[in-house]
Structure 1
Amino acid sequence: MSMTLTQQTDPYLHWEFVHPASGDRLRIVPERGGLVTEWRCGDRDVLYFDAERYIDPTKSIRGGIPVLFPICGNVPGDVLPLNGVDYTLQQHGFARDLPWQLQLLEDQTGISLNLSDTETTRASYPFSFLIEMQVRPVAQALEIGISILNRSEQTMTFSFGLHPYFNVTDPAEVELEGLNERCFNHLEMADTDTASQLGRLSEGVDFLCRPAGPVTLIDRVDGAHVQLQHQPPMDLTVIWTDPPRRMVCVEPWTGPRQALISGDRRLEIQPGARSQLNCRYAVS
């Protein structure tokens, strides 16, 4: 591996990618769910990451960009029925808990993270697959492209999402532009008006919107903007806060919770075929 991708031990064991032109930096921990833990753009740490919690292996990770696959959210009783068989699948699936393979992209403009099925994954999700996720820091933005190959002999059904945590000065001083007037509140599993949820960011929210265009997170204290630029089918947006953490998650999902059961925006890939997903986060 070239000098643009190096292994570091401080403040925790990780791989560091430095863009050869801009100097923008990513930190990646492939063995912990292919997790991007840091995106430094110019002089700004865009992502929130709780490093203290991270180094306690008994605790779930809070921060970075966790990957959600093959479901987003949970399924009732953690049971996913597929083709007449009940499979046990935990919330958000298994991708965020497994070791991924890390490579430098050939043009050295970013990194590639790969995950393929194992005997363990097939016990909870009966498909053979290969996920290739390319992460590229570009001028004032982060581009993420995901290719999913169905290596099974049957049609593969799935959802996919990202769960990035963004630093904010104070969740009570945050605006979100581009959301619809109505949303689905995951805490109550009911439709509601988005404005009431936005007024409660500092209290803790978890809701899904189906926006028509980009969604922009605005920090009113320092004026920073982060804009999620969707591409279908990964064009749903979930907003999540976890007070008193000074962060807001702006998450692109392909389908709502329980999509594989309800069929609402459930994605399918034919045997031997690929699905391509893309999104982009621009900062200003």
Structure 2
Amino acid sequence: MTLKQQTAPYEHWEYVHPESGDRLCIVPERGGLITAWRCGERELLYFDQDRFADPSKSVRGGIPVLFPICGNLPGDLFRFDGVDYTLKQHGFARDLPWQLQLLEDQSGIRLSLSETKLTLAAYPFAFLVEMDVRPVQGALEIGITIHNRSAGPMPFSFGLHPYFSVDDPAQTELVGLNDRCFNHLNMAETGTASQLKCLAEGVDFLCRPAGPVTLVDRSSGRQLQLQPEAPMDLSVIWTEPPRRMVCLEPWTGPRQSLISGDRKLEIPPEASTRLGCRYQLS
């Protein structure tokens, strides 16, 4: 079978591409989390299985989904129509159970999330998020369709938070970023080059669109390129030593976008929008 349940080393669904044999591991009930992406003979994702075993802790690894915000809001408060809603960092999508199904042509999988009483208490909109994930030609292609099923416009941000395994963050480069970035650690603009020198010490910064961004692991000789599609074309870089990983994240908008209006997206009532990106291995 192309998609089957597995119990070891933890409960998950395994998708195997019928032609290439590339593999995905998915835990839909834990935020629609993709925990593994094996491309050829290489496992690309970092995943802390011990931490994952404790549901009281946030996940470190795989590809968490950020929706309906990226980053955090002041006091975790989202105000809409004069009402304050509690909306925690990165939103709720990474914490809720998703639905999983095989795509009709068996080329990948679809993960789906829709509103519940819990989400409506934090974000007063009816929605459907459908995320199609396909391993294709030495790459991972991700297409997202977000449907607004509400009677009014729906503001949102969307992002992915993939953790990529590297042999040594100090021997890792990122090519294609803008010269200037925004440092989330001190909330100030700074030079990107200074941040890249500190990957092994821990960084968290955002770069405005600059086209494809390539993660170069000099120790292994592996290169992985993020090929974003506007508007999901902001790049966030995050490391957390001593973990041997680098997060190369596509976001639609910066932190607090829904308040500042900076790259805030809105979907008209009963309409939808499409987002996408691709990770190419070389």
Task: Assess same fold via TM > 0.5.
Answer: yes
Residue 63 of structure 1 is matched in structure 2 by: 61
Matches within 5 A, 1:244-263: 244-263=242-261
Residue 124 of structure 2 is matched in structure 1 by: 126
- Aligned AA for 1:80? F
- The answer to whether the 8 A contact 1:74-1:91 is kept is yes
Residue 28 of structure 1 is matched in structure 2 by: 26
- Tell me, what secondary structure is at the counterpart of 1:121? helix
Q: Could you tell me how far 1:206 is from its partner in structure 2?
A: 0.2
Counterpart of 1:275 (choices 270, 273, 277) is 273
Superposed structure 1 runs of 4+ greater than 2 Å apart: none
Counterpart of 2:104 (choices 100, 103, 106) is 106
Matches within 5 A, 1:132-281: 132-281=130-279
Aligned length: 282
- Tell me, what secondary structure is at the counterpart of 2:275? strand
Residues in 2 aligned to 1:9 and 1:171: alpha-carbon distance in whole angstroms: 32
Deviation string for 1:10-43 (max 9, x for gaps)? 1100000000000000000000000000000000
- Aligned AA for 1:30? P
Residues in 1 aligned to 2:71 and 2:107: alpha-carbon distance in whole angstroms: 32
- Tell me, what secondary structure is at the counterpart of 2:51? helix
- Tell me, what secondary structure is at the counterpart of 1:261? helix
Deviation string for 1:54-75 (max 9, x for gaps)? 0111211100000000000000
Residue 78 of structure 2 is matched in structure 1 by: 80
- Aligned AA for 1:150? N
Q: Could you tell me how far 1:81 is from its partner in structure 2?
A: 1.2
Deviation string for 1:217-253 (max 9, x for gaps)? 0001111001000000000000000100000000000
- Tell me, what secondary structure is at the counterpart of 1:169? coil
- Aligned AA for 2:143? G
Residue 16 of structure 1 is matched in structure 2 by: 14
Q: Could you tell me how far 1:83 is from its partner in structure 2?
A: 1.9
Residues in 2 aligned to 1:82 and 1:204: alpha-carbon distance in whole angstroms: 35
- The answer to whether the 8 A contact 1:178-1:211 is kept is no
Residues in 1 aligned to 2:210 and 2:59: alpha-carbon distance in whole angstroms: 31
The two structures have a TM-score, normalised by structure 2, of 0.99
Residues in 1 aligned to 2:84 and 2:273: alpha-carbon distance in whole angstroms: 25
- Tell me, what secondary structure is at the counterpart of 2:178? coil
- The answer to whether the 8 A contact 1:69-1:92 is kept is yes
Deviation string for 1:181-237 (max 9, x for gaps)? 000000000000000000000110000001321000000111100100000000000
The percentage of aligned residue pairs carrying the same residue is: 73
Q: Could you tell me how far 1:162 is from its partner in structure 2?
A: 0.1
Matches within 5 A, 1:27-46: 27-46=25-44
The two structures have a TM-score, normalised by structure 1, of 0.99
Residues in 2 aligned to 1:211 and 1:155: alpha-carbon distance in whole angstroms: 26
Deviation string for 1:112-144 (max 9, x for gaps)? 000000011000000000000000000110000
